[in-house]
Structures are given as C-alpha cells and as structure tokens.
Structure 1
Amino acid sequence: MVQAFAAHPPCAVCGRPATHVELVAPGAKPADWADRSPQERDVFDAARQRHGDQQWWLIFSGIEAGNGIGDPIDLARATRIAAAFTEPYRFAAVTTAGFYDDAGFCGPCDAPYCHRHWNVSSTGYGTCPHGHGKSLDPFWWPDDL
C-alpha cells in the first residue's frame, strides 16, 4: 500500500537536501502547507479540484527544474515512486522513478548531490564532484536552433 511521504536525499558532500520528492495522498495537503502563501494554497486547491481530489499528487524540486505546486499522478506511478524512495536511497532504485535528473543522483557514484555540488553549466549539463556528467535540465534548449 502506497503512503504519502516527503524525501530529501542528502547531498553526499554537504548533507543538504539534493532534491525534494513528495507524494501527497488523495485529499491531503503537502507537508509544507502551513508555510505556503495563501496564493500558493489557492492555486494548489484549484488544481486539485480540477483534477479530482481523489488523485495522488507529486511535488518535485530537482537540481535544475521542478514541477511547482505539483502534478496529478496515477496510483501505479505513485507506487513506483514510493518504492524508489525507500531508504537507504540508491541510484538503481531511484532511477526507476523516472525523474529526468534521477533526483540528483549520480549513477557511477551511487550518491546524490545538491545543485551546488553538481557544477551545472549554462546548458543544463552537470558534472558531479568526481567528474561524471549528465544533462540535468529537461527544459534547456539551445538558442541557435
């Protein structure tokens, strides 16, 4: 059975959260609800109402991008994400969640790194502290196309 959670895999260098992954159960509010502005709460409530209050909700903040107030997801995806973020966090499991940036994890290192330690270029390509690289920004597009 899937349960709501908020995961913050710690950066292997500094210990700060590398990313934020949160599953919000149907009808529930995000973990940081009390800290959100009234406008953010209104937007979340309106989106939730538009998509149905019995829908799972995913909130993600990655290395270079995120999904703001979140997106509705089906039970199958919620189940896959919950299984991927069972501690101890490992790249092999986290990559099954399907996040573009693998939630800040470097595969060869089997460790997550925060934005500060990914050394991200202006093109959205990042290298971990050990020199392994990958694209971290799903929205980057070259200006010259």
Structure 2
Amino acid sequence: MLQAFVAEPPCAVCRRPATHIELVAPGTRPADWQLWSPQQRDAYTAARRRHDDQQWWLLFSGIEAGNGSGQPVDLAEAQRIADAFTQPYRYAAVTSAGFYDDAGFCGQCDAPYCYHHWNVSSTGYGQCPRGHGKSLDPHWWPDDL
C-alpha cells in the first residue's frame, strides 16, 4: 500500500541531500509543514485548492529546478515514484521516476551529487566530480535556436 514519504538521496561527496522528493498523501500536509513560512504555506494551500484534495501531491526540489508548491499526481504515478525511491537508491530505479535531472544522480557513477558537487554552469549543464556531464536545468534553452 502506498504511503507518504520523503526521499533525500545524500550527495556521494558531502552527504547533504542532493534533492528532495516528497509524496504527500491525500488530505495531509508536507512532512516539514511547521518549518514553512506563511508565504510558502499560502502558496501550497492555494495550489492544492485548485485540485482535488483527495489526490496525491508531489513536491520536488532538484539540482537546478523544482516544482515550487508542488503538483498533483495520480495514484499510478505516485506509486511509480515511490517504487523508484526505495532504498538503497540506485540510478536505474531513480531514473524510472522521470525527473529531468534524475534526482541528482549521475548515471555513470550510479551516485547522487548535490548542486555544489555537480559543478553547474550558467547554462544549466553540470559535471559530476568524476567529469561526467549532463543538462540539469529543464528550463534552459539555447539562445541560438
């Protein structure tokens, strides 16, 4: 049975959370709600009001981007994300969640890295500490197109 969860794969270098993935169960609040500012709470509450309160909700903070106040996900997608973040975290499983930045994982290293260890350029392209690279910003678009 699907349950709410928070996943924060630790950076392979410094052990800080590489990313934050949270599935909020229908009718509940995020795990760290009490730490949110009034503005964050208002934005989240407003976003939830625009959708069915009995829907699962995804909160994601990635290397270069996230989904702000979150987004609704159906039960099948929520289950797919939960399955992807079963410990121990592995790239092959995490990539099945469909996050643009693979939740901070380098596929070649099979390890997550935080923003500081991805060495992200101004274009959103990052290189892991071992030199493997990929685009980490879903909003970046080349100026010359």
TM-score (norm 2): 0.97
* Residue in structure 2 matched with residue 80 of structure 1 by the alignment: 80
Matches within 5 A, 1:1-145: 1-145=1-145
- AA at the equivalent of 1:3: Q
Separation (CA, whole Å) in 2 of partners of 1:37 and 1:102? 28
Identity of aligned residues (%): 78
List structure 1 runs of 4+ shifted beyond 6 angstroms.
none
Separation (CA, whole Å) in 2 of partners of 1:2 and 1:112? 24
Which has the larger displacement, 40-49 or 11-20? Answer: 40-49
Separation (CA, whole Å) in 2 of partners of 1:122 and 1:42? 31
CA RMSD of aligned residues (A): 0.9
Q: CA deviation at 1:144?
A: 3.7
Separation (CA, whole Å) in 2 of partners of 1:37 and 1:109? 36
Separation (CA, whole Å) in 2 of partners of 1:40 and 1:129? 33
Which has the larger displacement, 40-49 or 61-70? Answer: 40-49
**Structure 2 SS opposite 1:26:** coil
TM-score (norm 1): 0.97
Separation (CA, whole Å) in 1 of partners of 2:7 and 2:78? 13
- AA at the equivalent of 2:142: P
Separation (CA, whole Å) in 1 of partners of 2:106 and 2:72? 27
Deviations, residues 13-58 of structure 1 (Å, cap 9, x unaligned): 0100000000000001011110111222122112112101001000
Aligned residues: 145
**Structure 2 unaligned spans of 5+:** none
**Structure 1 SS opposite 2:50:** helix
